[in-house]
Amino acid sequence: MTMTYRGTTALITGASSGLGAEYARQWAQRGADLVLVARRRERLEELAERLEREHRVRARTLPADLGRPGAATELRAELDALGVSVQTLVNNAGFGSHGPLADQEPARVAEMVQLNVMAVTELTRAFLPDLLADGRGALVNIASAAAYHSTPAMAVYGATKAYVLSFTEAVGYEARGSSLRVLAVSPGPVRTEFFDVVGTRDAAVGAMATPEQVVTATRRALERRTTPPSIVVGLGNRLSAAAATLSPRRVALAVSGRVLKA
C-alpha cells in the first residue's frame, strides 16, 4: 500500500543534504509537515522554503549540533515549547572517519560516538512514547552495511553503526504490539557528502547508491503490511552482510581489512 503522512510531522536529522534532504523531500511529497535539523542553517532554510513551495507543507528549521552532549534534550524541549508533536523520527545524522584508531583525534572520536550513538539513543527515547501513542508514523534509524562487519580503518564508525542496528531491532521488537513502524536502514556507499567528511574514497566499498534509491527502499519497506526490523539496501550489500554472518569472524575481519585498506 502507498502510505500518506498528511496530518503528521516528521523530524529528520542531518537534513541539510544527502539522505536527510531526500527523506524530507519524499515525506513532504506524501503530505508530512517537517522539522529539519542540521548544523547548516542556510541550507536548511533553502530546503524548507523549496519543500513548502512545492508540496504545500509546513517545514520548520531547527539548526543544532547533535554531536554536542545535551543537544537532543534541548531539541525536544524546543519542540515542546513550540507546541510541535512528532509522529515520525528519522535519525539520519552521522559521520565516519578513515584510518587507524591510534591516529584519530580523541575529540573527533568522541564526537562521532556522541552523534552516531548517543544522539540516536537520546532522540529515540525522547520521542518514542509519543510515536507509540500516535502510531501513524515511523521510527527510522540509519545504520550502515558496515554494521554487519568489523571495519578496520573505520573501527569506531563500524561499531557505532552495529549499535544502531542492534538497538533499533530491539526497540522494534518492544514496539511489536503497536502500530508504529520501526526500521533500521543499512545502505552501502551513497552519493552524498559522507566521503568528503571521511576524507577518502577507500571506504566506498561496492556500487554507489543514490539518496533517492535508499529513501525509496525505506518507504517501500515501511509500506509493507509487516515491516521488517531492518533492511540492507542493495543486492551486493545484502550478499556481503549474509557472507559476513556465515563466515568465521577471523576470515571476515581479514577480508574487511583488505577491502578498507587498513
CB 39 within 8 Å of CB 15: no
Q: What is the β-pairing status of strands 59-63 and 181-186?
A: unpaired
Burial of residue 75 (CB within 10 Å: 0-12, 13-18, 19+) is buried
For residue 158, what is its C-alpha cell? 563500524
- Cα separation, 45 vs 51, whole angstroms: 10
Terminal-to-terminal C-alpha distance of the chain: 44
Amino acid at 112: M
| DSSP per-residue string spanning 196-235 | HHHT-STT--SPPBPHHHHHHHHHHHHHSSS--SEEE-SH
For residue 169, what is its C-alpha cell? 531491532
Q: Of 5, 23, 157, 163, which residue is the catalytic one?
A: 157
157 tagged catalytic: yes
- Cα separation, 152 vs 163, whole angstroms: 16
Active site residues per annotation: 157
